[in-house]
Structure 1
Amino acid sequence: MTNRADLHTLTGAYATDSLDDTERAQFEEHIGQCPACAQEVRELSATAARLGLAAAVVPRPALKEQVLRSIATVRQEAPRTEPGPPGGTVPRAPLRRASRWALAACLAAATAFGATAVWQHREAGDARDQAREVQQRTEELASLLAAPDARTRTANLAGGARATVVVSEGRDRAAFLATGMAEPPRGKVYQLWFNDKGTMRSAGLMDPGRTTSALVMKGRVGEATGMGVTVEPAGGSPEPTTKPVALLDFPA
């Protein structure tokens, strides 16, 4: 059994879902009596959510072609002006090797910083819009997780996945966080639902390309007492068409 002194050190492990069932139960009992740990968990959970939502901006294939064309027309090194060796013999092999290394370095840099360069490209408007949308969702989720009245409930899902629902009564909003979920079948998507006392109400779609997800559920909590997840056709369904892969009651 974990002693009380040790429980204060488990905030990070709890926020990243790294505790076993026994430790989790002990810690959840502890944070109900320790406001400092409860606040730290909210802050760490918000940070973890930001990391989970981070989306890399992939440069367009045309960017690589543009870099390669530019390399062919831009001098890699300035002409050497220092005196040559006696006898007028200039060793050219080292210069050619240096030029090849410079070219390789340029290509490596272009690849490593392609995601940054795309922001400066004149056709990167879609990428900027996507980044703004991600930033807005991240801030909304972080704000909900840090709410003073935020309550959480975690459950094990099939295949070793874990899901956590976070509810703020004051904000009338809920968030869903999941790790290790299997990718849905091709042409399918995970759809979230509010459980309004037996009637399921759509609460948005999960990104089909992610096995880890953290998002604010669409719509108000209202009278909902729990939530569920089903596999639906791409674009979602007006009501569930399959057996739930997850059902969680909202924390009291």
Structure 2
Amino acid sequence: PHVWGAAPPPRLRDRRRTPLFVPFATATAAAALVVAALFAVQADRTRDQLAAERDRSREIAHVLAAPDARAGSGRDARGRTIGVIASASARSAVVTLGGYGDPPNGRVRQLWLMGPDARPRSLGLFEGDTPLIASGLDTAATSLAVTVEPDGGSPQPTSRPIVQLALKTVGFGE
């Protein structure tokens, strides 16, 4: 018994054992933090992808809603197609390819704006079946051409076009 004012008797220190579940709880908490961080990164990527798709949808809607929007299409010798909806006033076009499948390994399909007395100008790379929005079109341009280029595209075409469409059919070059 302890008497008030007197020092407590010295105790032998009991060696307390750490319960077995403590390391497991610590590991579980660390794993939960890692999973939460991965979810946050994935949510951020998904948000960026959704924003890019929303922007692409707005650009497509802008071309489609233009009062002078016109559609045209072309077909190559094998029946594969290029479709274009263009607006000269918006200086933009929505371009689709059909029937081409995936390009050869390490290659991409690149869209070019062709014009009289001008070097071909790249309008972008096709990503699978996703429509390509071509903006900043020159109203004097004569055609759109698609070539197969090295991965990442080229500053100028390195091969003959696999398909070409005269822009006169959609209100350009007239």
1:140 aligns with 2:59: yes
Aligned residue among 208, 216, 220 for 2:133? 216
Q: Which of 152, 155, 163 matches 1:238? A: 155
Higher relative contact order (CA 8 A, sep 6+): 2
Asked if 2 retains the 8 angstrom alpha-carbon contact of 1:179 and 1:213, the reply is no
Answer whether contact 1:204 1:218 (CA < 8 A) is retained: no
Alpha-carbon distance in structure 2 between the residues aligned to 1:189 and 1:139: 25
Alignment partner of 1:129 out of 48, 54, 75:
48
Aligned partner of 2:166: which letter?
D
Unaligned runs of 5+ in 1: 1-68, 70-119
Structure-2 separation of matches of 1:179 and 1:147: 24
User: Residue in 2 aligned with 1:200?
Assistant: 120
In the TM superposition, residue 140 of structure 1 has moved relative to its aligned partner by 0.5
Amino acid at match of 1:183: D
> Is the Cα–Cα contact under 8 Å of residues 195 and 228 in structure 1 kept in the other structure?
yes
Identity across aligned pairs (percent)? 37
Amino acid at match of 2:105: R
- SS of 1:178's partner is strand
Aligned residues: 132
Given candidates 86, 95, 100, the residue that maps to 1:167 is 86
Instruction: Spell out, residue by residue over 1:9-60, the C-alpha distance to the aligned partner (whole angstroms, 9 max, x if none).
Output: xxxxxxxxxxxxxxxxxxxxxxxxxxxxxxxxxxxxxxxxxxxxxxxxxxxx
1:183 aligns with 2:96: no
Quote how far apart the aligned CAs of 1:178 are.
Answer: 1.8
How big is each residue's C-alpha offset from its partner over 1:173-216, in whole Å with a ceiling of 9 and x where there is no partner?
12212222221111100000001125311110001xx2x33121
Specify whether residues 172 and 218 from structure 1 end up closer, same or farther in structure 2 by C-alpha distance, changes over 3 A only. Answer: closer
Q: What amino acid maps onto 1:142 in structure 2?
A: A
What TM-score do the two structures reach when normalised by structure 1? 0.48
Code of the residue aligned with 1:240 in structure 2: it is P
The 8 Å contact of residues 74 and 165 in structure 2, kept in 1 or not, is answered as yes
Letter in 2 for 1:202: S
Structure 1: distance between partners of 2:155 and 2:139? 19
Letter in 1 for 2:153: G
**1:229 maps onto 2:146 in alignment:** yes
The 1-side partners of 2:106 and 2:136 are apart by: 25
CA contact (8 A) 1:202 1:239 kept: yes
When normalised by structure 2's length, the TM-score is 0.68
Counterpart CA distance in 2 for 1:234 and 1:164 is: 23
Is 1:248–2:165 an aligned residue pair?
Answer: yes
Query: 2:6 maps to what in 1?
Result: none
Distance in 2 (alpha carbons) for counterparts of 1:202 and 1:233: 14
